[in-house]
Amino acid sequence: MPDKPDLAALLGSRICHDLISPIGAIGNGVELLLMDGSGKSPEMALISESVAHASARIRFFRVAFGGSGSDQRIGQTEVASILADMTRGGRLILDWQGPSDLARREVKLAFLLILCLETAMSHGGRITVERSAARWTITGRASRLRIDPSLWEVLSNPAALAEIGPAQVHFLLVPEEIARQHRRLTAEMSETEIRLSF
């Protein structure tokens, strides 16, 4: 009997698929305006920057929230491109270290955990992602972290009572993905560092 479909992943894939084309078309239009000289203004620069950021977030969300079959792969070059575009001009630095060819399902889980760290790092900081032969380690370091204990408890105890809104939905998705991949998540926290491994 086949596994029950992951409705959240199907929905995420559908939304990202439907948005990426029009945002790409807007980006192409802005590029054409800039090339012919008619779009060289602070307003066009702002539009161009906003389109690039939206495109990067959708590419990131497509991996984090979209479907991923057990045999799908993603290259480190694509991952690095997504992360570089997403953090350009921001306060967060993402350092991705890993093999050149990765299981998309594992990257999906790593991206969900990056979102969890991002929630605690509203003032910026550095996230380092490392993959050994058997485990992933994702470390967030910042001079100041904003840790909501009830949110982080959801990662190890999905039945925990936490007030979760759209901005924290990734905390609900991590335990499901951990179970789907038959892995175990460990978390270590201090005032300036959160270390997650699976």
The single-letter code of the amino acid at 99 is P
Q: What would the two tokens of residue 42 be?
A: 């602070």
Q: What would the two tokens of residue 24 be?
A: 């790409």
pTM of the model: 0.87
The confidence score (pLDDT) of residue 34 equals 81
Residue 89 C-alpha from the chain's centroid: 17
Contact predicate 77/102, CB 8 Å? no
For residue 3, give the nearest of 66, 70, 61, 62 by alpha carbon: 70
Query: Each residue of 145-167: pLDDT tens digit?
Result: 999 999 999 998 878 878 889 99
Picking from 76-90, 112-126, 151-165, 182-196, which range would have the lowest pLDDT averaged per residue?
151-165
CATH number given to 71-198:
3.30.565.10
The confidence score (pLDDT) of residue 3 equals 64
| Positive/negative CA dihedral, 68, 74, 80, 85 | negative
Average pLDDT over the chain reads 89
d(CA 44, CA 148): 39
